[in-house]
Structure 1
Amino acid sequence: MSLFGTSGVRGPVGEAVTAELALSIGRAVGAEADRVVVGRDARESGEPLADALTAGLRESGTDVIDVGVATTPTIARSVPWREADRGVAITASHNPPADNGIKLWDETGKALDRDRLDAIERRIDAENYHLTDWAGIGSIREWPDATDRHVEAIVDAVAIDDPPSVVVDVGNGTGAIAARALRELGCHVETLNALPDGRFPARPSEPTPENCRTLTDVVAATDADLGVAHDGDADRLLAVTEDGTALDGDVLLALFGRDAVERSAEAGRRQEDRAADGPLVAAPVNTSLAVDDALDDVGAALTRTRVGDGYVAERAADPAVVFGGEPSGAWIWPDETPCPDGPLAACRLAGLVSRDGPLSSLAAEIPSYPIHRTAVGTDAKGAVMQELSARIADGAGPGPVESTDDRDGLRVDLGDAWYLVRASGTQPLVRVTAQARAESRAREVFDAARDLVESASEAVD
């Protein structure tokens, strides 16, 4: 199994994530970089991990820019700001407090791609480092202004004519800069759980509707125009309407995507930078048909990627792509930064509400289509996926098939519906998702896809 998953290294501290591992990653990164930005989230375990990683970098002769405790988008943005070669965020993002992780960024502030991650892993496996002597030890300099620079960049990027009232649930993470930026844009802001605490005592770090009930209750009970919630490192954002309803991620993806398309047109984006069929929005293969339809209404199209914000960011590097996002809450404006930026998303959302009206009304404009999900247990998920690929190619399952996409599992487009079969990256499961615009069709496709996976699993097992 690869050391680096779709979000870097992540797992329990003292087991999957250790100071020894951080030292090795620092040495491996340092072998190919002259200057590296390092920062961490609010977890106490981040301090020794950052110390170990920094030691590995410096003994490789690499200079370190230490931004301290900061949001992941702050760390990623700081890489080009400080003309560094790489960035490292010590964070487990939305994972529980017992976990921590290490995520790497390239010189543009984009998540390091798979080829370069694999090269780092090979270097670690071979212990192929280039350690320096005493005279070549890299320097370390603190940069306490990184968060201020991030706030300035957000304020420069967003215009709000009639600032709304916003409740920001920081979730005891690092995302209080969203409240700072919103205030500088003129918004009235109330905060919840704003004290950084890596134990996440107020609520679990992941900003789901279930975990953010205090936020939904507060927004509904006050005159707030909207609410937002971040995870521990503020690369994710959950949105809440003025009546206290937490928005589905696909709905927010459609709203952000349409807004980015309209602003791109207003800015006169060069025609040669656009796709032949209009501007594009990047999103993973499990994104709802509702997003396709909402974008079609404004002359844009969805381009699908593998699941993971790094893959969305890679696709968003195409000049034709004006926005990228994941329904899980990661939002990318490539003209600003290739890293998901929760505080920027909070301010963009406030600007959208200011310009176009109540968030509940905007959300009501996005169609809602039935979607069904399940998972089939198997200890041979790789073999099951191979069997499924062969069977689908032979015409098994719901049909007729218009196209298949095998970049991340198998996504089968049926024209009026789709289904996705995908091996779990962490559990002995094959996940099944199906959607159509009508409930009867969605159920029909889902039942057939589930039966197909169960049959393939029985054949392999």
Structure 2
Amino acid sequence: MFGTSGIRGPVGEEVTAALALDVGRALGVDCERVVVGRDPRESGRLLTDALTAGLRESGTDVLDAGLAATPTVARAVGWQDAEAGVSVTASHNPAPDNGLKLWQPSGQAFDEKRREEISRRVREGESNLVPWDDLGERREIDAGEYHLNVLGEIEIDDPASVIVDLGNGAGGVTVDALQRLGCEVETLNAQPDGSFPGRPSEPTAENCESLRALVEASNAAVGLAHDGDADRLRAVTDDGEFISGDVLLALFAREAVAESNVGDPQVAVPVDTSLAVDDALAPAASVTHTRVGDVFVAERATDADVVFGGEPSGAWIWPAQTLCPDGPLAACRLVALAAERSLAERVDEIETYPIRRESIEVTDKGGVMERVEERVTGEYEAVRTLDGVRVDFDDGWVLVRASGTQPLVRITAEARDDGRCEALFERAGAIVEDAREK
């Protein structure tokens, strides 16, 4: 039922009001208070109502944040002394999708144990329904104001001019926060609309071309872009360059390491992260790899020596503040960096390497991956199977892993020169093709 980012899928097929009701009942078994919020998708209204009904008929009070960024909802759980939070969102997915993401008081998404328990309760129909006169209450809360107060603690000595592309999502808190911090803010796609008419929800380089062009033609210090629920942040430099996820990760991580007082600090990143991050941090810190997915990065970020966690897709976690990916926090912190020194200059300092990513369609990705792992572990020494099969070399690495949602096997290869990158990729591709044909 749960993927790495909660429950997510097409509305009316995988995600229904009946499912939301069941999840509400399952949460209500041991929760007295639950924070609920949603992104702008129209289907979110009925899913929120169904989820709330399941909670209230279990005697659970619902604290309704209304239309709110996912990190706003996640942060409000601890603030309101609730046992859990639920974001009704499909994040960066297209408009036909929706979903439910569950949060702990620490801001961390439900871990595997808690996800499995909710799944079991839904599967077995377990609930704890109460009499008519003991139903939970539903009341509105201003979680956005609380989030704004937290973001207001960030210092921007010389407030900058900023352009923010909200992608018609729920990230308006970023605009409010930057304005409170003294920045001049221009917006794109600022009207919340779950059909995402301005651009697709995911803030990729292709989808953010209008933002890039506007920043290039202006005097803005930075361009910022969120997805539908604002848990992700991507950015454009002052000279109009869309910053790759790996480089942005390196910038954030390097700053977090510099600010920390932890001995031998670690930065948590997924196994498909570029060598650029390792090299940018050395020798001050080192990376610790996780499975792909911000929930796994957050789990590793609970370790005391981890000072930052991030995914190149745009999820950024400062564990000293919260264990949820907080796009508005990342936005404010990046503006603070841009106000101190040009982002274009900072990006130029990060050395990048040739990297190639492609996917191969398969009918039996489980069987293919089993055969790939057997062959690779027999031929190579530095093999890791944390998430797929990764082989590390002195001058590069290659990763083969199954897609979590599609009938695909993904191949990623990176090396410090083009020829070596191509050689690694071609070798991995040949192994996958051979495994597919057997």
Q: Shift of residue 60 of structure 1? A: 0.9
* Equivalent residue number for residue 168 of structure 1: 164
Among 325, 344, 355, the alignment partner of 1:340 is 325
Given candidates 382, 387, 399, the residue that maps to 1:420 is 399
Partner of 2:279: 293
Match of 1:8 among 1, 6, 19: 6
* CA offset digits 1:247-293 (Å, max 9, x no partner): 000000000000001111xxxx3x5xx4xxx2111110000001000
Partner of 1:432: 411
Deviation at 1:339, TM superposition (A): 0.6
Alignment of 1:22-37 (within 5 A): 22-37=20-35
RMSD between superposed Cα atoms in Å: 1.0
Partner Cα distance (2:192, 2:377) in 1: 51
In structure 1, C-alpha distance between the alignment counterparts of 2:122 and 2:99, rounded to whole Å: 17
User: 1:58 maps to what in 2?
Assistant: 56
**In 1, Cα distance between the equivalents of 2:21 and 2:183?**
43
Q: Name the % identity.
A: 57
The answer to whether structure 1 residue 302 and structure 2 residue 300 are counterparts is no
Q: Distance in 2 between matches of 1:230 and 1:427?
A: 24
Work out the CA distance in 1 between the residues paired with 2:297 and 2:140. Answer: 31
Matching residue within 84, 89, 92 for 1:91: 89
Are 1:444 and 2:423 matched, yes or no? yes
- One-letter identity of the residue aligned with 2:148: V
Structure 1 residue 50 displacement after superposition = 0.3
Alignment pair present for 1:137 and 2:135: yes
**Does 1:198 find its partner at 2:183?**
no
- Give the aligned partner of residue 108 of structure 1: 106
Please list, as runs of the form range in 1=range in 2, the aligned pairs for 1:222-371 lying within 5 A after superposition.
Answer: 222-264=218-260, 269=261, 271=262, 274=263, 278-297=264-283, 299-355=284-340, 357-371=341-355
Deviation at 1:345, TM superposition (A): 0.6
Any idea what SS the aligned residue of 2:152 has? helix
Q: Which of 146, 151, 157 is matched with 1:149 structurally?
A: 146
Q: Deviations over 1:304-363 (max 9, x none)?
A: 1011111111111111111111000011111111111111111100111122x1111100
Give the letter aligned to residue 333 of structure 1: W
Among 214, 217, 220, the residue aligned to 1:218: 214
Q: Per the alignment, in what secondary structure is the counterpart of residue 394 of structure 1?
A: helix
2:182 aligned partner: 186
Q: Once structures 1 and 2 are overlaid, which stretch shifts more, 315-324 or 409-418?
A: 409-418
Deviation of the 1:410 alpha carbon: 1.1
Q: Map of 1:376-387 to 2, 5 A cutoff?
A: 376-387=360-371
Instruction: Give ranges in structure 1 of 5+ residues lacking alignment.
Output: none
Runs of 4+ in 1 over 4 A off after TM superposition: none
Match of 2:285, as an amino acid?
A: A
**Deviation for aligned residue 1:135:** 2.4
- Partner amino acid, structure 2, of 1:344: L
The offset of 1:213, in angstroms, is 1.1
CA-CA distance at 1:415 after TM superposition: 2.4
Deviation at 1:107, TM superposition (A): 2.1
Amino acid at match of 1:290: A
Query: SS state of the match for residue 353, structure 2?
Result: coil
Counterpart of 1:456?
A: 435
CA distance in 2, matches of 1:386, 1:193: 45
Q: How many residues align?
A: 438
Contact in 1 for aligned 2:33/2:61 (Cα 8 Å): yes
Q: 2:58 is matched by which residue type in structure 1?
A: S
| Letter paired with 1:359 | L
The CA deviation at 1:198 is: 1.0
CA distance in 2, matches of 1:39, 1:240: 29
CA contact (8 A) 2:377 2:383 kept: no
SS at structure 2 position matched to 1:234: coil
In 1, the alpha carbon distance for the partners of 2:304 and 2:47 equals: 37
* TM superposition shift of 1:24: 0.3
Cα distance in 1 for residues equivalent to 2:234 and 2:254: 18
Q: Letter of the aligned partner of 1:341 in structure 2?
A: D
What is the distance in 1 between the residues matched to 2:105 and 2:247?
A: 32
